[in-house]
Structure 1
Amino acid sequence: MLLMSSISVAQVLTPGKIGFDLLVFDEASQVPPEDALVAIARARQVVIVGDQKQLPPTSFFDRLLADDGDAEDLDKEGEVLLGGAATLGELESILSLCEARGLRMRMLQWHYRSRDPSLIRVSNREFYRDELILPPSPLQKDPSCGLIFTRVAGLHNGGCVNDHSA
């Protein structure tokens, strides 16, 4: 078993020497398709785990480094049609690519990362229609953990709190 990023697979493992019986991408909404390709090419089976409600990978530094002429050339050369709906250049992540290809999806319902359920409760209600199962945490009754709503007097106005009681 190896625990590596896709980039590490490309940089460290000699091509053709090591293959994978099963490749699992976690946080797949953060992995650009071009970074995933080298690892996927070595795998017999692939499991893609991710959430489109999470932020996509950033291309901020790509834009800073790319020359305008180079970007246009890449767009023309790198177009791969995906079922007529999108091109590879339009897909931000390996998760988007899987969705564009119509691969079977299933929602994982357990959220296990928050030390206190209050940290995910708002997202669960607003984004996941309260479908996430939030296991109890031994810390959830600890007053120093989680989120607590505290009402304060005054009005919020552009970063300043104005107390009108005086």
Structure 2
Amino acid sequence: MIGDNKQLPPTSFFSTGDSQEDIDNEDDASYETVLDECSKFMFAHMLKWHYRSQDERLIAFSNCHFYGNELVTFPNPVQNPDLGVWFKHVSDGVYDRGKRRDNRREAKVVAQLALEHFQRFPEQSLGIIAFSEAQADAIREQIEILGKEYPDLETFCTDNSPQFFLKALENVQGDERDAIILSVGYARDDQGKLSLNFGPLNRQGGERRLNVPVTRAKSKITLVSSIVAGDIGPTRAQSKGVKLLYDYLEFAASGGKKLQGNSYTDTLHFDSPFEEDVYHVLVQQGYTIRTQVGCSGYRIDLGVVNSDRPGEFLLGIECDGASYHSSPPARDRVGVSPS
């Protein structure tokens, strides 16, 4: 049996007609799956090689917060501007708390981003995820409005299309698309008040709910939000889900850079004296070298920077050091059996 208990399966959270904010917190134990039952008496083995993300930043946040940085991912030699984690702040977004319980201004921005995606990358699939059913409906309305002017967009955004989906957060387990647009929706109301009630994120297990949408993209995710991390603050968050949202808002606003251990830093780190010697020889030859390039447990020891094209590496160098000896694939290459 294969599954991930760090991500939440679909629940009956949206099955009632009540507002998300009116439903009391419940324990998710009533919705536990066969996987959870089996884990009580069966041995668990973690599958560590992550295949989906074309850019490490897409999985780095979850790898850090949920998987102890044990997922093995691989650095991209080119920092492609069309890949990774993006943040779109809707500064004039307002949450209609008393009536529609949606954010129409933010929904318009999401619909416009969907149009831009279709126009630039018609061959790439797109998924739109909203934090609530009401926000998903608002986005659907705005796409329909745009579709009258751009009929091809309406065709692209057809329900049940393999190229597109538009769903609320609770219903995307198992889905994946090339690009994902994630709409928070919740924001300050027309009186300027921000309630830290983010629907399902406030409930027990809310952090697992957020882990689902932020890991659905293969190439790019854009977080669309009318609030920034500072609006929540590190001390106001009372639940794990809201605290994680605060962290992800910071992470997305930094373009996937604000995360401990992420990418590379200017601090030199070497696994062996031999690796350090190689570094100094290359620097003496005039090359700019980054050490330990990557976001996961697997790092490229030395990366040779392309001075003519910032953000691009000319060469990755793996040295015979500690990481080499500890890697099972390395043992396979040299014919050494694990002890």
Query: TM-score category by the smaller chain?
Result: 0.3 to 0.5
Q: Which has the higher contact order (CA 8 A, sep 6+)?
A: 2
Q: TM-score, normalised by structure 1?
A: 0.40
Q: TM-score, normalised by structure 2?
A: 0.21
